[in-house]
Amino acid sequence: MSEQVIDARGLSCPQPVVLVRKAISDGRTEFSIIVSSDVARENVLRTLKNSGMKGIVSSNGDDIIIKASR
Amino acid sequence: MKNILSSRIGMIVAGSAIGIIAVLLQAAGNPPNMGICVACFERDIAGALGLHRADVVQYLRPEIPAIVLGSFIISTVMKEYKPRAGSSTLIRFFLGMFAMVGALVFLGCPWRALLRLAGGDLNSLLGLLGLVCGIGIGVVFLNRGYSLGRSHDNRKASGWLFPAFMLGLVLLNVSGVSFSEGGPIFFSAKGPGSMHANVIISLAAGLAFGAIAQRSRFCTMGSIRDIILARDFHLMTGVASLLTTAFIGNLILGTFNPGFTGQPVAHSNHLWNFLGMTLAGLAFALAGGCPGRQLILSGEGDADAGVFVMGMITGAAFAHNLSLAGKPDTMAGDVFTLGGPGIYGQAAVITGIIFCLIIGFTMREKLTVK
């Protein structure tokens, strides 16, 4: 299965979290999410942690990429 | 640099600081149970500018501009200043207007709802219940794909506009300028608008609120929303800390008076306290932040939040010009008169709820994750 990438750039709170939760409830165990603010990064990482998942953060210019895995 | 205020402990520190500063503002001259109220204070600013002529609520509250400026300064220093705009701007303006209508029917924003509760005003429980209901409806929409669309990055200078406007308001307060005989700029001689701390204290408090709330991401609406949406209690730790420290502060200062009647700048019309805050909660949820958070975001360069704030100020003007706001309970001799909104205010709340429901249903993106 090709890796899923969620583009949450420019979306207001709490949408990035809603999208992450949807991916998790769809049974995804590996995906990436791109956000554009530190707030969104913090919220996504906390959501992953609360769901028992890990998140690895990297950046690409202004974009913040979080690779989620179980 | 790691953001210590966004940790669990940081959240407790932030909420506690806000609660303490708010009670100190009350002691310094702000109205009772109203150390800080984003809705009431924006309404007072609208009045000072002459956008409405309710003479008991006219004062260019420095706290509001200071919150924006505090957020602007700290976000610039910490490199989180990020000008952006373009997410359903007009809808956000109207969400701001209706949020203000709802809040003014209750006579407080969520920050004030907490401070009222901390002061013993039990009417606030109805407001908080309404807030939870409104936010709950918002969460249903969010889970069904509700979205106002993406915002897009903008030039650095575009984010200076709102802080500059806010600085202008501060200057209008302190300069003593009068644009015509008697005003504007209006300064209430009686009523809540005449109760205010010294300008320097208000500015310092607002700057502190702005910096603390920006770093901690403090958001009263978000605290309730995140519990309903994701059983996440992170933001609620901050809100609970605010409530606790404000309550203790009131106990120490002797300003805790529990009850439903005789509460300052409040009414005990339970149905409309509930419905007013249902509207406000729903509007805040659809706009992505409580009014304090919107001020913080606007300081960070978020023009869509700035537009929401302008909508709230405009809504306050409408509320007092069209008799939409809630009136406090009154006691004349032995005669008690229940306050609350008149028929126009009630109609405005219903209209606002319908508007928000339409926005919630129609502004959807399919929540398929590719």
| Domains along the sequence of chain A with CATH | 4-69 (3.30.110.40)
Contact B142 A18 (CB under 8 A): yes
> Would an 8 Å CB–CB cutoff place A28 in contact with chain B?
yes
Nearest CA in chain B to A27: B369
Note the pLDDT of residue A3: 75
Q: Give the C-alpha separation, B217 to B290, whole Å.
A: 11
Tokens of B356: 């928000």
H or E element: which one contains B287?
Answer: helix B270-287
Q: Note whether residue B368 is domain-resident.
A: no
The closest alpha carbon to B22, from B188, B277, B197, belongs to B197
| Residues in chain B whose Cβ is within 8 Å of chain A | 3, 6, 80, 82, 84, 87, 142-143, 147-148, 150-153, 217, 219, 222, 225-226, 229-232, 234, 288-289, 304, 367, 369-370
Q: Who's near B165: CB < 8 A, 6+ residues apart?
A: none
Residue A5 dihedral angles phi and psi, to the nearest 5°: -120, 120
pLDDT at position B183, please? 87
CB atoms within 10 A of CB B105: 32
* Structural contact between residues A35 and A41, judged by C-beta atoms closer than 8 angstroms: yes
* Each residue's pLDDT tens digit, B214-227: 999 999 999 999 99
Check residue B186 and give its pLDDT.
97
pLDDT at A2 exceeding the cut of 80? no
- Chain B CA closest to residue A9: B150
pLDDT confidence band for B370 (50 / 70 / 90) = very low
Establish if B92 belongs to a structural domain.
Answer: yes
Contacts of B80 in chain A (CB under 8 A): 37-39
A5 touches chain B (CB under 8 A): yes
Mean pLDDT, chain B, integer: 96
- Contacts of residue A14 in chain B, CB cutoff 8 Å? 142, 222, 225-226, 229, 288
CB-based contact, A39 to chain B, within 8 Å: yes
Question: What average pLDDT does range B170-186 have in this prediction?
Answer: 95
Q: Which of B153, B289, B370 sits opposite A13 (nearest CB)?
A: B289
**How far is C-alpha B145 from the chain's CA centre?**
26
Q: Report in angstroms the alpha-carbon separations of B258 from B54, B122, B123, B338.
A: 29, 7, 10, 18
Q: Is the pLDDT of residue B368 over 80?
A: no
pLDDT at B363 over 50: yes
Helix (H) or strand (E) holding A31: strand A30-35
Q: Is residue B367 part of a domain?
A: no
Q: How many CB atoms lie within 10 A of CB B339?
A: 19
> Across the interface, which of B6, B153, B230 has its CB nearest the CB of A17?
B230
Asked if residue B135 belongs to a domain, the reply is yes
Confidence (pLDDT) at B365: 83
Q: Is the pLDDT of residue B295 over 80?
A: yes
Question: Cβ atoms within 10 A of the Cβ of A4, count?
Answer: 15
A32 pLDDT more than 60: yes
* Average pLDDT of the segment spanning A3-31: 95
pLDDT of residue B147 exceeding 50, the answer is yes
- Summarised one tens digit per residue, pLDDT across range B19-58 is 999 999 999 999 999 999 999 999 999 999 999 999 999 9
How many structural domains compose chain B? 1
In a domain, B319, yes or no: yes
Model pLDDT, residue B49:
98
Is residue B124 included in any domain, yes or no? yes
Structure tokens at B335: 């005669």
CB contact A57 to B (< 8 Å): no
A23: closest CA of chain B, how far (Å): 7
pLDDT reading at B366 higher than 80: no
Distance from CA of B145 to the nearest CA of A (A): 9
pLDDT digits (tens, 9 = 90+) for B49-102: 999 999 999 999 999 999 999 999 999 999 999 999 999 999 999 999 999 999
Mean pLDDT on B341-361 = 98
* A-to-B residue pairs, Cβ atoms closer than 8 angstroms: 67
Domain annotation covers residue B370:
no
Q: Are B233 and B12 in contact (CB under 8 A)?
A: no
Residue with tokens 């910490």: B78
Give the contacts of B226 (CB within 8 A, at least 6 positions apart): A14, B232, B233, B234, B235, B236
Say if CB B69 and CB B167 are below 8 A apart.
Answer: yes
Question: What pLDDT, in 10s, does the model give residues B307-346?
Answer: 999 999 999 999 999 999 999 999 999 999 999 999 999 9
Q: Does A56 touch chain B (CB under 8 A)?
A: no
pLDDT value of residue A24? 96
* CA quadruple B166, B168, B172, B178: dihedral, nearest 10: -130
Q: How far apart, in whole angstroms, are the C-alpha atoms of residue A69 and residue A55?
A: 7
Please check the confidence at residue B2 and state whether its pLDDT lies above 70: no
pLDDT in tens, B225-274: 999 999 999 999 999 999 999 999 999 999 999 999 999 999 999 999 99
Domain residues for the domain of B327 are 4-362
| Spatial distance between the Cα atoms of B275 and A40, rounded to a whole number of angstroms | 31
Q: Does A32 touch chain B (CB under 8 A)?
A: no
